[in-house]
Structure 1
Amino acid sequence: MPMIAQAAAALLALAVPSAAFAASWTAYGNARFGYLVDLPPGFPPIREADNGDGGVSASTEGHAALSVWGSYLLDSTFRQEAGSRIAGDAEKGWSIGYRAVTARAASWSGSKGDRILYVRAIARCRDQAAFMRIEYDASAKAVYDPIVSRLVKSLRASGGC
């Protein structure tokens, strides 16, 4: 019996930090463009832009910068907008190693020097899109991989069109 109790205690000890990690995420909602995204632990609340389209946050340890924003698709489809933004990142020196674009969602990632970039976008209504962009130190990749995974899954629409 003591061995079973020790094993149970060890499992509980492993579960508590992951539960605390999961519980410490907070949501940011943008009313203007109708989207939500979860903010990871270690990131202060989004500093919203004056125009209310989104904002920025930076990790407290200084390894990462997170931006979220909504945008109108004035003269393009969602696919065209995503393609244009991917091309823009490439023109700014990002080596784009992954890209996936559909009519309703897009993701791309790349690297530049010692930095990694990941962008997720979702179509909102007919003429809107929401974006999440995180840049972080390549040296912190192992730490940020699960954070990026959750950020990508958390970007979602809120409310109707």
Structure 2
Amino acid sequence: MMFRAIAVATALFVLTVAASTGLGRTAEWDRYKNGRYAYSIDMPPGFSEIVEADNGDGGKAHSAKGDAELVVWGTILTDLTLREDVTQRILSDEEEGWKLAYSGGNDAGWNWSATREGRILYARAVPLCADEAAYFRLEYPAADRKAFDAVVERLVRSFGSFEGCE
């Protein structure tokens, strides 16, 4: 009986968090396409549209509550491999106080996750054509981790090039 009460309470909590963050609705996912670097990513329900940077390499979107931020961008890998670029970005995150929890990858892409002051950072880098790459970073409250687990999974699956290389 006690186990059932705990299971029901847990389920209600997850549903409440999902409803309050706008993450429980699966039908409202949109897609952002970046024309400059030819990458795309699904946009979580309840997030604003990407506000693009002036140079057209990507931009930012925020959750409805404003407590989560998704940043996407493309870049040219000048003098670095994707792995080397990711390593430099991880070191930069650590210098900014993020505590690395995970990092790993292969030729298809690199992922890392870190925590700082009650927040979680999840980042992914994928190779594009020639010496180009695309990145996304999602930062959100650690208290909403369970609600964001499915969001991170969908972002990872949807992120990549939408054009073949010549």
Q: Normalized against structure 1, the TM-score is what?
A: 0.85
Determine if the alignment matches structure 1 residue 37 to structure 2 residue 4: no
Instruction: Classify the secondary structure of the residue corresponding to 2:26.
Output: helix
User: Does the Cα contact within 8 Å between 1:82 and 1:101 map onto a contact in 2?
Assistant: no
Q: 1:105 corresponds to which residue?
A: 109
Aligned counterparts of 2:129 and 2:90: Cα–Cα separation in 1:
21
Unpaired stretches in structure 1, ≥5 consecutive residues: 1-16
Deviations 1:18-55 (A, max 9, x none): xx822200000001111000000000110011000000
Letter in structure 1 aligned against 2:101: G
Letter in structure 1 aligned against 2:131: D
State which structure, 1 or 2, has the greater radius of gyration over its C-alpha atoms.
1
Q: CA RMSD in A?
A: 1.4
Instruction: Classify the secondary structure of the residue corresponding to 1:67.
Output: strand
User: How many residues were matched structurally?
Assistant: 143
Pairwise CA distance, 1:101 = 2.6
Instruction: Classify the secondary structure of the residue corresponding to 2:25.
Output: helix
User: Does the Cα contact within 8 Å between 2:29 and 2:44 map onto a contact in 1?
Assistant: yes
Q: 55, 64, 67: which one pairs with 2:68?
A: 64
Percent identity reads 43
Q: 1:51 corresponds to which residue?
A: 55
1:67-86 alignment, distance < 5 Å: 67-86=71-90
Q: 123, 132, 140: which one pairs with 2:127?
A: 123
Moved over 6 A (4+): none
Deviations 1:74-116 (A, max 9, x none): 1101111111111111111100110013233100001001110
Q: 2:151 corresponds to which residue?
A: 147
